[in-house]
Amino acid sequence: MIEVSNLIKQYGKDIAVNDISFTVNEGEILGFLGPNGAGKSTTMNIITGYIAPTSGTVKICGYDIIDEPQKAKSKIGYLPEIPPLYVNMTVDEYLDFVCDIKKISKGDKKDVLEKIKDIVKISHVSNKIIKNLSKGYKQRVGIAQALIGNPEILILDEPTVGLDPKEIIEIRDFIKTLGKNHTVILSSHILSEISAVCDRVLILNKGVIVAQDTTENLSENLSKNHKMNISVKGDKENIKTALENEESIVSVIQQGENEKDTYQFIVEASENCDIREVIFDNAIKNNYKILGMNPVEMSLEDIFLKVTDIEDNSIKENTENEENDEGNSEGEGNE
């Protein structure tokens, strides 16, 4: 449904989006994540045709967003972070206006709007002026305008920002329902929302894709068997000391006691180290029994922090290396 290939957006010397490629499949809800300044909004603005890329292509249902903008845009419903509402209009006046823009025929307009208002649950505020609505209902009106024309693709930028917990749950459930009939890109800073709603996540940092997959696969791939929840039997202090003294183990956290002389620990080893072998060897050497061992699943928050931290550290190291190289070159020149 959406094909993004080698996308670059540059402002002078600053690169907002740096050669990214990804696809979004039909009926998929893709979570779009990244810290502030990561390039999320720029990417969404390019996908919707609001701004042009410096290079690269975006195809919407096979139509190039630059070469065939009308055909491509007709497939998209877009809710920006700040909904494009005319607040002095009533809900009906505004949605009627959007229908005209999207060239909905007069004969179909009434049925289209009644159906959409019923889906978004705003029928009872049809005659209210938009500026008098709550933030949650303004968001619903924004979603309603995105649905007009029955686009195959919906792009929602921070749809629950500023909402109260009840409104967040309602909009979240509504987005899940939309995913049954639409392909959705959902950008949000609320990681629990992405976990609850999305089939797959894509994480941007510094304009590049640092991770994309299901949350489950990312958790499995990033943990790489180096963080385990273990159940062991023996002397608690001796076991804890033995594990902490193991060179490749970086942390040992006691979780509690299940039964007499049986304890739970979360044990983390250094990366590229299979912690299972380390724990088994440690148990043999220190004469305690292993009753159970399970990988610790990473939450989406853990994944987000890990991949963005890796990228930041990588950039920092590259910058330091470049500075050192420049320093060495200057030193050689002075000599």
User: What DSSP letter does each residue of 181-225 carry, written as one string?
Assistant: TSEEEEE-S-HHHHHHH-SEEEEEETTEEEEEE-HHHHHHHHHTT
Secondary-structure breakdown of the chain: helix, strand, coil percentages, each rounded to the nearest 5: 45, 30, 30
Percent of the chain with pLDDT over 70: 89
CA neighbor of 159 nearest in space, from 116, 190, 196? 190
Average pLDDT over residues 165-190: 86
Q: What are phi and psi of 36, to 5 degrees?
A: -55, 135
At residue 295, the pLDDT reads 80
Question: 286 pLDDT exceeds 80?
Answer: yes
CA distance 158 to 172: 11
Contact 159, 175 (CB under 8 A): yes
Q: Which amino acid is at 152?
A: E
Pairing of strands 76-79, 153-157: parallel
**Sorting pLDDT into bands at 50, 70 and 90, what band is 220?**
low
Bridge partner residues of 13 (DSSP): none
Distance, CA of 188 to chain centre: 7
Mean local confidence (pLDDT), 14-36: 92
pLDDT over 70 (residue 311): no
Q: Is the dihedral of CA 146, 147, 150, 153 positive or negative?
A: positive
Are the CB atoms for 31 and 188 separated by under 8 Å? yes
Rg of the chain taking only CA atoms, in angstroms: 26
Of the listed ranges 49-53, 68-72, 302-306, the least confidently predicted one is: 302-306
**32 phi, psi to nearest 5 deg:** -110, 110
pLDDT at 237 over 50: yes
Strand partners for 211: 203
Assess whether pLDDT exceeds 60 at residue 263. yes
Which pair of tokens denotes residue 205?
């940092």
For residue 54, give both structure tokens. Answer: 């410096």
| Distances in whole angstroms, Cα of residue 189 to Cα of each of 33, 76, 137, 153 | 7, 22, 20, 21
What pLDDT is stored for residue 223 in this prediction? 59
CA dist 92 and 241 (Å) reads 69
Q: Which amino acid is at 201?
A: V
Average pLDDT over residues 200-228: 80
- pLDDT at residue 321 in the model: 45
Q: What is the pLDDT of residues 63-77, one digit of tens each?
A: 999 999 999 999 999
- All structural domains of the chain, each given as residue ranges with its CATH number in brackets, are 2-220 (3.40.50.300), 225-295 (3.30.70.3100)
What count of Cα atoms within 13 Å lies in the side-chain half-sphere of residue 153? 25
Inter-helix orientation angle 215-223/300-334, to 10°: 50
**Amino acid residing at 272:** N
Better pLDDT: 284 or 308 = 284
Does 277 score more than 70 pLDDT? yes
Q: Euclidean distance between the first and final Cα of the chain, in Å?
A: 60
| 156 membership: H or E segment, kind and range | strand 153-157
Q: Confidence band (pLDDT; 50, 70, 90) for 331?
A: very low
